[in-house]
Amino acid sequence: MSQNAIAITTTPPLPGVTLVSALNAALDTLNTSWSGSSAPSSPSTGQMWLDTSVAGTITIKRYSGSAWVVQGVVDATNGLLLNPIGGGTASLASGSTTDLGSVAQTAINVTGTTTITSFGTNVPTGQIKVLRFSGALTLTHNATSLILPGGASITTAAGDVAVMQSEGSGNYRCVSFQRAASLALTESGTQTVTNKTISGSSNTLSNIAMSSLTSGALASGVGATCVPVNIGTISSGTVTPNPQTQGPIPYYTNNGAHTLAVPANPCSMIIEVTNGASAGAITTSGYTKVDGDALTTTNGHKFIGWITKTQTYSYLTWKALQ
């Protein structure tokens, strides 16, 4: 490793030994790419320099004509090349096969609305491509060649960003997908939430019958508003309350004898019952304990029932509203 002069003097005398020594020194400099802990003096545009100033690493630099530009960093201990991400932004039109390897840039704007089923076979294993979509198109999930979060196809929107990693042989995995229109945690205002699923290791909240959720109200502890769901007119059979399809405050008309069963999953609900002209007796099934006011069959009478279903027990209490 050296930074010797590579220009051989032409001033005589130039004995053979001196010439050979100067040539060997120059060749060593070229062979080791001006390796050293400080920048070579009087560099030329395009000249390379292996910067060894940081122990354990070799920084590959190229002279741009005015400054030394980092091209990459070598982990000298493990022999790994760590390339910087950058190089501007490329643009690709969407197609059934959108060849990410056809452009060198890491950041790619994907235009158009054509469904994508493949990203081509030209991206080396392990390489990352960051895609920004300009409009609505479908990324088609494939368990081998186009692995998407949740194992399902994705419909993009303008501004959505996907980070794709090549797994070799034309196979890709989406390691991150960010929606441009996601509601920020600090955003205020009213949002409509309909038929959404929030899944965790031990809980699922789906098909929420909720018309508005105000972040300001939640922050202040006031609460949230929701739309009561009409179960209909019940004249026989069994009513099984289900907060996933009926919301937290369903209601119905009692127009005949029927049974009120326990919800299938742990929950808390409020159910409103209004007696119709042919109201019948309401019996219960499966509850650990039932108490409260007595139910009547008088036309127009109204009742509210509070239902609590835990992992082990269930409780129902009635309140007459007349």
pLDDT more than 70, % of the chain: 84
Residue at 120 is within a domain: yes
Mean residue pLDDT of the chain comes to 85
Same domain, 239 and 308: yes
Task: Please classify residue 61 by burial: count the beta carbons closer than 10 Å to its beta carbon, then call 0-12 exposed, 13-18 middle and 19+ buried.
Answer: buried
pLDDT at 166 over 80: yes
Please count the structural domains in the chain: 4
**CA gap 322, 313 in Å, rounded:** 30
> Based on the domain organization, do 170 and 93 belong to the same domain?
yes
CA dihedral 142, 99, 69, 52 (to 10 degrees): 50
Whether 142 and 197 share a structural domain: no
Q: Which long-range contacts (CB under 8 A, 24 or more apart) does 36-44 make?
A: 36/1, 36/2, 36/3, 39/68, 40/3, 41/3, 43/68
Looking at the domain assignment, is residue 247 inside a domain?
Answer: yes
- Asked if residue 28 belongs to a domain, the reply is no
Please state, in angstroms and as integers, the Cα–Cα distance from residue 240 to each residue in 289, 298, 306, 308, following that order.
16, 23, 14, 13
d(CA 305, CA 251): 10
> Do 68 and 113 belong together in one domain?
no
Out of 46, 64, 82, a domain closes at 82
Instruction: Classify residue 5: in a domain, yes or no.
Output: no
Q: Which domain does 195 fall in, by range? A: 190-220
12 within a domain of the structure (yes/no) = no
Q: What is the pLDDT of residue 18?
A: 84
DSSP state of 152: S
Estimate to the nearest angstrom the gap between the alpha carbon of 291 and the chain centroid: 47
Tell whether the model's pLDDT for residue 205 goes beyond 70: no
pLDDT tens digits, one per residue of 288-311: 999 999 999 999 999 999 999 999
Which residue, of 82, 117, 146, is where some domain finishes?
Answer: 82
The larger pLDDT score, comparing residue 135 to residue 224, is at 135
Same domain? For 202 and 234 the reply is: no
Q: Is residue 13 part of a domain?
A: no
Residues 99 and 74 in one domain: no
Residue 49 has what pLDDT?
93
- Mean pLDDT check: name the lowest of 8-17, 104-113, 239-248, 257-266: 8-17
d(CA 17, CA 279): 118
Would you say 108 and 131 are in contact if contact means Cβ atoms under 8 Å apart? yes
Q: Which amino acid is at 202?
A: S
Q: What is the pLDDT of residues 40-78, one digit of tens each?
A: 988 999 999 999 988 888 889 999 999 998 888 888 887
Statement to judge: residues 73 and 95 lie in one domain: no
Give dist(CA 192, CA 93) in Å, integer.
34
Residue 213, domain member (yes or no): yes
| 55 and 104 inside one domain | no
pLDDT reported for residue 214:
40
Q: Is residue 27, in this structure, part of any structural domain at all?
A: no
Q: Is the dihedral of CA 105, 106, 110, 115 positive or negative?
A: positive
- 315 and 241 in one domain? yes
Could you tell me the pLDDT band of residue 203, with boundaries at 50, 70 and 90? very low
CATH number of the domain that residue 100 is part of = 2.60.120
pLDDT band at 28 (very low <50, low <70, confident <90, very high): confident
Same domain, 263 and 246: yes
Q: Do 150 and 168 fall within a single domain?
A: yes
pTM of the model: 0.44
**Share of residues in the chain with pLDDT > 90 (%):** 58
Q: CB–CB of 118/98 below 8 Å?
A: yes
| The pLDDT of residue 141 | 96
Do 131 and 53 belong together in one domain?
no
